[in-house]
Amino acid sequence: MRRDSLFYQLFAQLPQTLFDLLGIDTPQGYRFESVELKQTAFRMDGVFVPPDPSGTVYFCEVQFQRDTTFYERFFAEIFLYLRLYRQTFSDWQAVVIYPHRQVEQVSFEPYEVLVNSHRLRRVYLNELGSLEALPLSLALMQLTVLPEAEMPTAARLLAERTRTEAVPRPEAIIELITTIVLYKFTELSREEVLRMLGFTTEELKRTRFYRDVYAEVREEVYAEVREEVYAEAREEGRQEGRQEGRQEGRQEGRKEGLQQGETLVVLRQLRRRFGELPAGLEERIRQLSPPQIEALAEALLDFTALEEVFAWLNRSS
């Protein structure tokens, strides 16, 4: 994932982040957009559009690599936007976010006047201050530039802050923290990152990742099982030659398909985490009742070793 998309998510989820950077109270009614200037195929990272024409439009750009012509492009995009949408604002402000000063281009010619004016605010993330003292939105920004060795501890700190501070949409912040860490630790799965950050089972289940992935796996397995069971039920109904038998077969097949689907979801999740399962273990799981399978599906989120699965089965038998 490119950092542009990380910051796009951050601004979209927490639009007050820009105003925290500028050290001003968050004005009401602003919406965040990614705007394409179609006449020249320019695309601006982010534009904070005021709610009425008397407000200030903010242009925000994230620049993590040195570009010797960055300001040339940035100001060209800004002034084209000003020309096209002049009726929607009364003033404008530009903000460029750098990881550190070394990334910024060295020569500003011929844009020194604009670069050094009140129109442009340059932010260097490594100079914002400590994570503990920063607003959570800015701490998330700083997390993107921390060294790999420091990131797990810092990410856990921010995760803890989402639990203890009154923040809007904490599940969205959890997603942002996880995505930022995944950007650094590409070898880890999203679930492993959530575990590393110390999220509880209930917090994990509230994330979009859990809902989307688990629902996707369930539906995939259910589709396979339903097709097999329905085919058997239809064949049985045809052999009996009675409409009543066909209808009963479909109903029974639907119920059986759902039960088998739950079991296969659990088995697939266990294999994904622990590899190939012992034959005896798989057979014990297939013998569980529907309520037991549902309970195991929740419990396995906390398992870190295969022995815990056996222990759970022994307790549940």
Residue 33, SS3?
A: strand
Count of structural domains within the chain: 3
Question: Which residue range is the domain that position 305 belongs to?
Answer: 208-316
Residue of 165, 170, 101 whose CA lies nearest to 132: 165
Q: What is the Cα–Cα distance from 74 to 32, expressed in whole angstroms?
A: 18
- Based on the fold, state whether residues 150 and 94 are members of the same structural domain: no
> Structure tokens of 135?
């607003």
pLDDT over 90 at 297, yes or no: no
- Based on the fold, state whether residues 107 and 153 are members of the same structural domain: no
Which of the listed residues 174, 201, 228 is the one where a domain comes to its end?
A: 201
- Residue 246's pLDDT band (boundaries 50, 70, 90)? very low
Alpha helices in 149-207 (DSSP H): 151-164, 170-184, 190-196, 201-206
What does the chain come to in residues? 317
- Based on the fold, state whether residues 55 and 71 are members of the same structural domain: yes
Which of the listed residues 141, 156, 172 is the one where a domain comes to its end?
A: 141
Lowest mean pLDDT among 48-62, 75-89, 133-147, 206-220: 206-220
Q: Are 208 and 178 in contact (CB under 8 A)?
A: no
The 10 Å CB-count burial string (b at 16+, else e) for 135-168 is bbbbbbbbbbbbeeeebbebbbebbebbeeeeee
> Structure tokens of 245?
């038998």
pLDDT in tens, 171-207: 888 888 888 888 888 777 777 777 777 766 565 566 5
Q: Which residues are within 8 A (CB) of 261 and not within 5 positions of it... i.e. 6 or more apart?
A: 218, 221, 222, 225, 226
pLDDT over 60 at 49, yes or no: yes
Task: Output 190 or 245, whichever has higher pLDDT.
Answer: 190
- Residue 169's pLDDT band (boundaries 50, 70, 90)? confident
Q: Which residues are within 8 A (CB) of 207 and not within 5 positions of it... i.e. 6 or more apart?
A: 171, 174, 175, 178, 194, 199
